[in-house]
Structure 1
Amino acid sequence: MDPSARATFNRHFTTEKYEGFLTRLNDGLRNPVLFRVAETPVFLADDFRDKLMAAGEGIMDTILQAGFKELTERSIPDKWRLPNENAHPHFIALDFGVCKDADGRIVPKLIELQGFPSLYGFQVHLGNTYREVFNIDTNKTIYFNGLNDQSYFDLLKKTILGPYQPDEVVLMDVNAPEQKTSVDFYITQRYLGIPVISLSDLLQQGDQLFYEANGQKKRIRRMYNRLIFDEIDGDENIFDKVVDIRQPLDVEWITHPNWFYRISKFTMPYLHGDYIPKTRFLHQVTPIPTDLENYVLKPLFSFAGQGVIIDVTADDINNITDPENWILQQKVNYEPVVQAPDGGVKAEIRLLYLWPDGDAKPTLAINLARLSRGKMIGVRYNQNFDWVGGTIAFMQR
């Protein structure tokens, strides 16, 4: 981490300034931000930024290799496999914990990855608000690869809109206005001009989809998909009430739902490198390691940390009836590198890639960061703490 930038920020930080930051952040939004936003951004040192980028490149090499689709066929549950899958995902997110290696160096370690969108709109608003309120040095940026606000949004438009007009592309989630991430939906709408709709708003005629606007039916050419099937998996009758989006429909998915599974925890055992924790499918683990305190057990088909077993025992492993659907992953120990006024805070950095049609490979574009004092990153582990929550990393231009 960048100690000089941290010292400068902390020296000028006040609770009143943070409260003013939250007011500015929510000003003009359709609804206030529904998740905790941290008191501070993260400041990356050049060396750590370069390690993050190198780690990401190594993972992209695996995703770009011939046969990746065949390798990940088993990752897609039959119940949620959709037809008309495209050649590549349009969004990739890589989550890295900030850790310390055996030699005492600060290094990134991959936690999870997903072929699914993240807060591509909100993060720009968040970064700009931190910069304005806390007077962040103009030589620092939230972007990679030389991008700025204008070129970033050009790339985002190219990815999401493609050749279509904004009213031909919809951002869709199961119940969009009520999602905790809805702030991102409406900021994206502001930047791109696309409508935000819920699953129940979809109208079907033949194999075509429509939505209603101002009393008129509008044809949907592209669906910027924000729906995670786990959110509707518990409702067995969901598609009796809404359009069954698993049909062969004449619509482009940005990104196709199958990629949510292909690029996920399922991919971890196929990744190798200095910044990748050792990971194996549980049914391939023989014998059971004697140092289970150094491992974490994760179900493949869950999200938001559900079902993860942190303190693993041999009984936990022996009691699992579908070991092919679990991974045993070397435990990643976060280092509390972000200095708050009352001590260190752990950090996680998410690299966000965009891959529009026509590009040979994804572009590392922007980032998301999360701060934690709890046992794990996430809201449920950080109740009643300060200097935790969602944030963004700044780095030297």
Structure 2
Amino acid sequence: MNTKYRHLFNEAFSVEKYKDLIQDINSEFDYEVTFRIGESPFFIRNELKQQLIEGCNQVIDFIKRDDFRSLTNRALELNRKVPNEDNHTTFLAIDFGICEEDGKIVPKLIEVQGFPSLFNFQYHLSKKFVSHYPFLSELTPFLNGLNHESYLKLVEEAICNNHPKENVILLEIEPEKQNTKIDFYYCHRDIGIPIVCVTELIQKGKQLFYKNDKGEEILVKRIYNRVIFDELDLRTDLKLNFDFSSDVDVEWAGHPNWFFRISKFILPYLKGKYFIETTLLSDIKEIPKDLENYVLKPLFSFSGSGVIFHVKKEDIEAVIEKDLYILQRKVNYKPIIQSPNGKVKAEVRILAVWKKDAPSPTLVTNLVRLSRGEMIGVKFNLDKDWVGGTVGMFEK
């Protein structure tokens, strides 16, 4: 990590300043953020930054392979297929655990998602940190030479694709109840698109509509999709006027099919120093004897649900649909961030945007999660400090 800025930050930090930061965020929309925000950014040295970029580029090279669709068609067969899939995903989220291997720090790919993350919230979180710790203006959360203005422009272009804002919607399941709704609020304010619940969509033939604040039906031309099918399938109580399997005249900013294609499904294919030994459960001929060194994960779950960290032979034998699970070797997360009371583990999610006609996605910014627990994630770090979601700051 960047020791200069770690020292500067820790000298300036206080619990009161942290509370002021949280209050500053909460006051934006008179809404208390429901997930924990970490006390500090992660100050990333250029060496680690270059490793993260190299790892991302290797993932992207695989996704750009000519046979990528044929390799991942099975992922759609195992789930569902939505019509009118575009040529490539609009968003990428590539998660790396900051690990130790042979005495050296190395990022290891934990997960990759063809799905949007907190693109708007992270933008503002970095600004809040700079506001409360002005010396952080010497650093940047962005990649590829982007700044606040060019970043937001790129994200807006990817979401809207030059359509009028009223014809582009952010679609979610009961957005007011989502843990990430602070990101929706910022998206609505930054970009100007409405936030719409899946139950509010109206299908007429091949067209979709929503009602604006005046009760007028407005044509939907493009959907910024934040719907996770895992959650939708469980919500049998919802009454939908739209079927995702319908062939409708609408563009997707984040077509649902890419959520399945670019997922843990591709991890067994990825080989190299940034990738972890991962095997589809259905391909395992003999259960490893050292199961304490493995994690069992469902392919298409979200936010860590269904993961078994302490795997037993019975857990593997109990899995009926073995082509829906992977067995992944554990990695050694290295506590690397110095807090006032011990060191903290980190996971870095690099966020990328892939504009419609661009040959490749652009790495744009990041999201960092801090942890003191066995697994990364808020629910594994209850009642701890210096944990939660934050942002990585790079040298300019």
Corresponding residue for 1:15?
15
Provide runs of 4+ in structure 1 moved above 3 Å: 235-238
Question: What is the CA-CA distance between 1:245 and the residue it aligns to?
Answer: 2.4
CA RMSD of aligned residues (A): 1.3
CA distance in 1, matches of 2:77, 2:377: 26
Equivalents in 2 of 1:241, 1:300: separation in Å?
26
Unaligned runs of 5+ in 2: none
Measured in 2, the distance between the counterparts of 1:197 and 1:312 equals: 40
**Structure-2 residue corresponding to 1:86:** 86
The count of corresponding residues between Structure 1 and Structure 2 is 395
SS of residue in 2 equivalent to 1:280 = strand
- What amino acid maps onto 2:96 in structure 1? F
CA contact (8 A) 1:295 1:310 kept: yes
CA contact (8 A) 1:338 1:347 kept: yes
- Contact in 1 for aligned 2:198/2:240 (Cα 8 Å): no
Give the distance between the partners of 1:123 and 1:178, measured in 2 at CA.
20
SS in structure 2 at match of 1:137? helix
Q: Secondary structure at the match of 1:121?
A: helix
Displacement of 1:344 in angstroms is 0.7
Letter in structure 2 aligned against 1:189 = H
Counterpart of 1:125 in 2: which secondary structure?
A: helix
Quick one: percent identity of the two aligned structures?
A: 43
Q: TM-score, normalised by structure 2?
A: 0.97
Q: Does 1:255 align with 2:254?
A: yes
Cα deviation for residue 135 of structure 1 reads 2.0
Which amino acid in the other structure matches residue 93 of structure 2?
Answer: A
* Deviation of 1:137 (Å): 3.0
Structure-2 change in CA distance of 1:89 and 1:322 (3 Å):
same
Work out whether residues 80 and 229 of structure 1, in 8 Å CA contact, stay in contact via their aligned partners in 2: no
Alpha-carbon distance in 2 for matches of 1:263, 1:75: 9
Deviation at 1:390, TM superposition (A): 0.6
Aligned runs of 1:100-111 on 2, under 5 Å? Answer: 100-102=100-102, 104-111=103-110
- The offset of 1:311, in angstroms, is 1.4
Query: Against the structure 1 CA distance between its residues 30 and 358, is the aligned structure 2 distance closer, same or farther, given a 3 Å change threshold?
Result: farther
Distance in 2 separating the partners of 1:91 and 1:349: 16
TM (norm. structure 1) is 0.97
Instruction: Give runs of aligned pairs for residues 1-397 of structure 1, distance below 5 A.
Output: 1-29=1-29, 31-77=31-77, 80-102=80-102, 104-213=103-212, 214-236=214-236, 238=238, 240-397=239-396
Task: State the one-letter code of the partner of 2:312.
Answer: T
Instruction: Report the alpha carbon displacement of residue 291 of structure 1 after superposing the two structures with TM.
Output: 2.0
SS at match of 2:176: helix
- Checking the alignment, whether the CA contact within 8 Å between 1:130 and 1:136 is kept in structure 2 is no
| 1:316 CA drift (Å) | 2.1
Q: Which blocks of at least 5 consecutive residues in structure 1 are unaligned?
A: none
Measured against aligned partners, the alpha-carbon deviations of 1:318-347 in whole angstroms (never above 9, x if no partner) come to 232222111111112211101110001111
After TM superposition, give the deviation of residue 193 of structure 1 in Å.
0.8
Secondary structure of the residue that 2:234 maps to in structure 1?
coil
SS of the aligned residue for 1:232 comes to helix
Question: SS of the counterpart of 1:18?
Answer: helix
Q: 1:79 to 1:275 in 2, by over 3 A?
A: closer
| 2:94 alignment partner, SS class | strand
1:26 corresponds to which letter in structure 2? N
Residues 338-377 of structure 1: CA deviation (Å, up to 9, x unaligned): 1110001111100000001011100000000011111111
Q: CA shift at 1:393, angstroms?
A: 0.4
| 2:203–2:241 contact (8 Å) kept in structure 1 | no
The whole-number CA distance in structure 2 between the counterparts of 1:42 and 1:265 is: 25
1:146-202 CA distance string (max 9 Å, x none): 000111111111101112011110001011122111110110111111111111111
Q: Give 3-state SS (helix, strand or coil) of 1:34's partner.
A: coil
